Amino acid sequence: MAEDLRDKLGAQHLPLRDQVLTALRTAIIDGDYLPGERLTEDRLAEDFGVSRNPVREALRVAEAEGFVVILPRRGAVVASPSSGTIGDMFAVRERLEALAARLAAERASAADVAALRALLDQGREATERQDLPRVAELNSALHLRILQISGNPWLSSIAKSLYLHVQWVFRLGAEQRAPHSWAEHIQLVDAIESGDGDRAERAALAHLDAASAAAYENAEGGYGAR
Amino acid sequence: MAEDLRDKLGAQHLPLRDQVLTALRTAIIDGDYLPGERLTEDRLAEDFGVSRNPVREALRVAEAEGFVVILPRRGAVVASPSSGTIGDMFAVRERLEALAARLAAERASAADVAALRALLDQGREATERQDLPRVAELNSALHLRILQISGNPWLSSIAKSLYLHVQWVFRLGAEQRAPHSWAEHIQLVDAIESGDGDRAERAALAHLDAASAAAYENAEGGYGAR
DNA sequence: AAATTGTTCTTCGTATACGCTTTTCCCGGA
DNA sequence: TCCGGGAAAAGCGTATACGAAGAACAATTT
């Protein structure tokens, strides 16, 4: 929301709580901590090699972000993304990313478009190399970049968080949906470059619909441990 | 997201950090702490009569919610909703609440519609009584209710948070926009009752556009101290 | 076998300490 | 008077310890 302010005056300190939060998030998304698993403060403190204080602060934020659930006096457990909410998440993402595509189309500079094209190229290449993890990574980078280009910090921050959760559900459920449809991505970037908001929005919607459909196929059955 | 779990097993403890967070939020929204104002941990701890720890945890969450900005090694300041972001917020809200209206139209039960109509009635009555604060309150209640009826927890939670921020900007800038347009509300509820998603979405968009325009009129000039 | 009691684990909040930046403020010089 | 520099103060970041209270589980008793 205000990263620009943050790094203005000397501040590359990166507080421990932030490092812990990042580590915790990725551990949960990567499935190192499974849904329903108990996260005691002592254990996390030991895992990350810090004291309990930074852990507690990270846990509160993780709760606000929906990655853990905190039961008063009982501690934190990893949240359980039920399969029911996949559809809900996509419904919101669809709207949000469509708006992002429109705004990006209206505001993208030549440099922005170039950056997107670069990601597209790398994506194609990685696809040819069958480097699936890299493809997934580039896919994320592209979406996040478009969000950023939209220039709407609220949109960006909300959609980003949603995106993380989608990834989480994906990784828990099954492998990434195999060949990310780069054709759709190319159309999306083309539309953004054209500056035509309507067209960009349509392209985003088409892409999200396809992704949503793929998600449903992939994610048969529910998750959630306890 | 999982409030249902929370109150299942005995837990009316309400940790201090939550009380502090709530107090902090309302203090900021009510303008008791003004944008740009420095919030030292010691001072907050004293204000709320607690130690630094609960304060710190509340601050982290408040930061995640966008109410404060935390500069590493420099502490927290109340965030400054610049007039620029008002537009951004409404842009997102428009999409989100339009979706909510559609979903509500598709899923609303008779009881849901009755609840909405009740709010509408109270609103009309309060308007006649010129009870502006009550009108504003009912206006919020109506929007929040529609969000809830949509049945999409993500949508609901995100839009709710956004809604809080809009209120914040309003209260700082000026009084509530005078006579909330209950005519628009009535059309929206009618559309929801009809079960016609498209129509509900159009009604929501029209309403949000009007609100956005009013907001711009009302909020001439920027906010933010320093 | 069921109920009660007691023990243990953990969270929650407080207090304290200390290093390290940032901020403030005072003082001397131009 | 104004400016700059440097010492002192303020405040964050982190660690640690401790007591209180709740929850879970085991043991004991009825």
- Read off the pLDDT of each residue in B149-169 and give the average, rounded to a whole number: 92
Radius of gyration of chain A measured on its C-alpha atoms: 19
State the pLDDT confidence band at B192, using cuts at 50, 70 and 90: very high
Distance B17 CA to C21 C1' (A): 27
A145 touches chain B (CB under 8 A): no
At A180 the pLDDT is 62
Which chain B residue lies closest to A53 (C-alpha atoms)?
B53
Provide the mean pLDDT of chain B: 86
Contacts of B9 in chain A (CB under 8 A): 71, 74
Which residue places its CA closest to the C1' of nucleotide C11?
A: A73
Candidates A60, A72, A79; nearest CB to B57: A60
pLDDT at A226 over 50: no
Residue A10 Cβ under 7 A from any strand C atom? yes
At B176 the pLDDT is 55
Distance B153 CA to D14 C1' (A): 37
Nucleotides of D under 7 A from a protein CB: 10-16, 21-24
pLDDT at A10 over 60: no
Provide the mean pLDDT of chain A: 86
Contact A78, A168 (CB under 8 A): no
pLDDT single digits (tens) B113-156: 999 999 999 999 988 898 888 888 898 999 999 999 999 999 99
- Read off the pLDDT of each residue in A162-179 and give the average, rounded to a whole number: 75
Q: Which residues 102-131 of chain B have a CB within 8 Å of chain A?
A: 103
Q: Is A33 helix (H, G, I), strand (E, B) or coil?
A: coil
Distance B150 CA to C7 C1' (A): 48
State the pLDDT confidence band at B173, using cuts at 50, 70 and 90: low
User: Choosing among A12, A52, A60, which should be mutated to test the B contact, i.e. which has the most B CBs within 10 A?
Assistant: A60
User: Choosing among B4, B93, B95, B161, which should be mutated to test the A contact, i.e. which has the most A CBs within 10 A?
Assistant: B95
pLDDT single digits (tens) B41-68: 999 999 999 999 999 999 999 999 999 9
Residues contacting strand D at CB < 7 A? Answer: A 13, 15-17, 50-54, 73-74; B 9-11, 13, 39-43, 52, 56, 70, 72-76
State the pLDDT confidence band at B212, using cuts at 50, 70 and 90: confident
Contacts of B208 in chain A (CB under 8 A): none
Lowest mean pLDDT among A132-141, A149-158, B4-13, B75-84: B4-13
At A167 the pLDDT is 86
B226 touches chain A (CB under 8 A): no
A4 touches chain B (CB under 8 A): no
- Read off the pLDDT of each residue in B28-34 and give the average, rounded to a whole number: 92
For B127, the token pair is 């308007």
Nucleotides of C under 7 A from a protein CB: 10-16, 21-23
Q: Which residues 65-94 of chain A have a CB within 8 Å of chain B?
A: 65-66, 69, 71-74, 79, 85, 88-89, 91-92
pLDDT at A139 over 70: yes
Q: How many helices (H) and strands (E) does chain B have?
A: 10, 3
Lowest mean pLDDT among A29-38, A214-223, B71-80, B187-196: A214-223
Can you say whether the dihedral through the CA atoms of A79, A80, A83, A84 is positive or negative? Answer: negative
Query: In angstroms, what CA-CA distances link B80 with A5, A142, B92?
Result: 12, 30, 19
At A5 the pLDDT is 32
Can you say whether the dihedral through the CA atoms of A97, A101, A104, A108 is positive or negative? Answer: positive
Residue B78 phi/psi, 5-degree rounding, is -65, 130
pLDDT at A223 over 60: no
Residues in chain A: 226
pLDDT at B181 over 60: yes
pLDDT single digits (tens) A183-212: 899 999 999 999 999 999 999 999 999 888
Which residues are CB-contacts of B137 (< 8 A; sequence separation ≥ 6)?
none
pLDDT at A109 over 80: yes
Contacts of B61 in chain A (CB under 8 A): 60-61, 63-64
At B111 the pLDDT is 97
At B220 the pLDDT is 52
- Read off the pLDDT of each residue in A26-45 and give the average, rounded to a whole number: 93
- Read off the pLDDT of each residue in B195-221 and give the average, rounded to a whole number: 84
Q: How far apart are CA A76 and CA A60, in angstroms?
A: 9
Query: In angstroms, what CA-CA distances link A39 with A116, B49, B59, B219?
Result: 39, 29, 22, 45
A179 touches chain B (CB under 8 A): no
pLDDT at B178 over 60: no
Which chain B residue lies closest to A68 (C-alpha atoms)?
B2
Residue B50 Cβ under 7 A from any strand C atom? yes
- Read off the pLDDT of each residue in B4-19 and give the average, rounded to a whole number: 61
If you search the block for the tokens 């504003």, which residue do you land on?
A: B136
At B3 the pLDDT is 33
Contacts of A61 in chain B (CB under 8 A): 60-61, 63-64
Contact B53, B93 (CB under 8 A): no
